[in-house]
Amino acid sequence: MLTLEKLSSDTFAGRPGPLLLIVMDGVGIGKQDESNAVYVAKTPTLDKLFGAKLYCQLQAHGQAVGLPSDDDMGNSEIGHNALGAGRVFDQGAKLVNKAIETASMFDGEVWKKAVASAKDGHTMHFIGLHSDGNVHSNISQLYPMLKRAAEEGVKRCRVHILLDGRDVPAKSALVYIEKTEKVLAEINEKYSADFRIASGGGRMITTMDRYQADWSIVERGWKAHVLGEGRSFNSAAEAVQTMYDEDAEATDQYLKPFVITENGKPVGTIENGDSVVFFNFRGDRAIEISMAFDGGAEFDKFDRVRVPEVYYSGIMEYDGDLKIPKHYLVNPPQIDRTFCEYLCDEGVKMFAISETQKFGHVTYFWNGNKSGYINEAMETYHEIPSDKIEFDKAPKMKAVEITDWVIDALNSGQYKFGRLNLANGDMVGHTGNMEAAVIAVETVDECVGRMLEVVKKLNGIAIVTADHGNCDIMWTEKNGVRSPKTAHTLNPVPFCIYDPNYNGEYEMSAAATDTVNRPGLSNVAATVMNLLGFKAPEDYRPSLVEFKKN
């Protein structure tokens, strides 16, 4: 049982109405120029919030959210971990880096079994996002694993590459392929080995589905990686260049699956006795392919045609509650005592809602990488199915439907706290389509405005923030040439308190205005607790508000 101490009655007892926490996914604070969809869009609601007294900016990347350095962009999973946990935990990239640097990964039983399975005529396969974006994966972690496998006697290895173009420049696949081909050539020469790229495809249509939104994406990956079915080419570079030539507007994340063949046969199908390592450290887009490998005869999401008996492992455990995958190389962050656990134990009824693309973020990641409810008697989780369409084709996404549901939930009087994610700024921002991103931001602004009206009517409080930036930089310019920017940004994100009954009882704290130890997303949890009338746990990051003494 987790307990909280109430703030003294003469300090702040909270407002009569609910507290609503709105996460505007991908809405950062960037330069006020025409590359910034947040700035270009008409946003009367956000303009008022950003100019109000109860406002500050938060760090949503780098060390503030548990990443190795401040050059590392944040992401939605890490951002929601920080929002829910109230503290900073070392995250996937940092944990994997440490495991490689100390060689603890290679000393573990999972690595040893993966290597052992790949000997005696068998093959070791690596599948994952092929870039240095450091959001889902990093090829700087793949290369030491390839080299170590060769050092330990693996003679045959195949790499199945998922093209990025989302966390890195939209057309950068050939750069990464060249780097990897060079590493593979060096290994082959030094160890008389046979290490090659065997298959691939764009991440948004091959293998990396999430939240079971579209299993056909995983099926396409299974056919390419496991069965060797797909459009054939002599090399990965030839595959990418051919698809570029066929469609000048093609970007890496949407390139079709391909298979490398030699003498008419695929060079790297996955067979009985092989080992497979999925090298994404981030969980959301790694879970479904892991289920396909680990699912056994009960798996029914698509016809796998042939299911080889392999030793499958992830670089990390992607779902601790569901134990996916069964084997993993590096232990994930152990996040305990999320602030909603405290609220549940204090009897605070709450809801969480988003559309499919971000539903896991306001539930699983928010709750410290734990599936299911904390306390079903205290919580309501609601998912609105996302459209199966490229997001710039429907940039309003499900924001209106989410807003309608939230308004009904607030008006019901059942809930004291609610959280939601509006995915538009991130998912549309990833497309690089400026016009669509502006519509996305304007939709978010309108929806936030509608919810604030209800919060005002109910004498509640709203907090409006974001998990990271994205649509705040939609393109970059070099030598007069503009290039779409589809990746997250390193910009800070807004933090706004909307309190219609505000009468000077509190103000932004020293933590909120600290320009040296700048506040981050993990400061939000203590702030929510305070505004609900509770003291935060002592080891939580400081609140962004401080109350005036009477």
Residues annotated catalytic, as ranges: 76
Q: How far apart are CA 316 and CA 510, in angstroms?
A: 37
Of 373, 134, 169, residue with least CA distance to 253:
169
Contact indicator for 390, 431 with CB cutoff of 8 Å: yes
Of 45, 9, 3, residue with least CA distance to 347:
3
3-state SS, residue 247: coil
- Give me the half-sphere count of Cα atoms (radius 13 Å) on the Cβ side of residue 477: 6
Amino acid at 359: F
Amino acid at 23: V
CA distances from 35 to 41, 202, 233 (A): 11, 26, 37
> Which residues make Cβ contacts (< 8 Å) with residue 276, sequence separation at least 6?
124, 125, 126, 127, 270, 293, 310, 311, 312, 313
Contact indicator for 197, 236 with CB cutoff of 8 Å: yes
3-state SS, residue 18: coil
Q: How far apart are CA 392 and CA 382, in angstroms?
A: 24
325 prior amide bond cis, ω within 30: yes
Summary count for the chain: helices (H), strands (E): 18, 20
Q: Report H helices in 69-172.
A: 76-85, 92-101, 104-107, 109-117, 139-151
Q: How far apart are CA 356 and CA 398, in angstroms?
A: 9
Of 487, 477, 521, 466, residue with least CA distance to 71:
487
Q: How far apart are CA 160 and CA 158, in angstroms?
A: 7
Of 342, 312, 378, 403, residue with least CA distance to 534:
342
Of 491, 548, 519, residue with least CA distance to 83:
519
3-state SS, residue 40: helix
Classify residue 518 as exposed, middle or buried by CB count within 10 Å of its CB (0-12, 13-18, 19+).
middle
Contact indicator for 407, 451 with CB cutoff of 8 Å: yes
Contact indicator for 464, 57 with CB cutoff of 8 Å: no
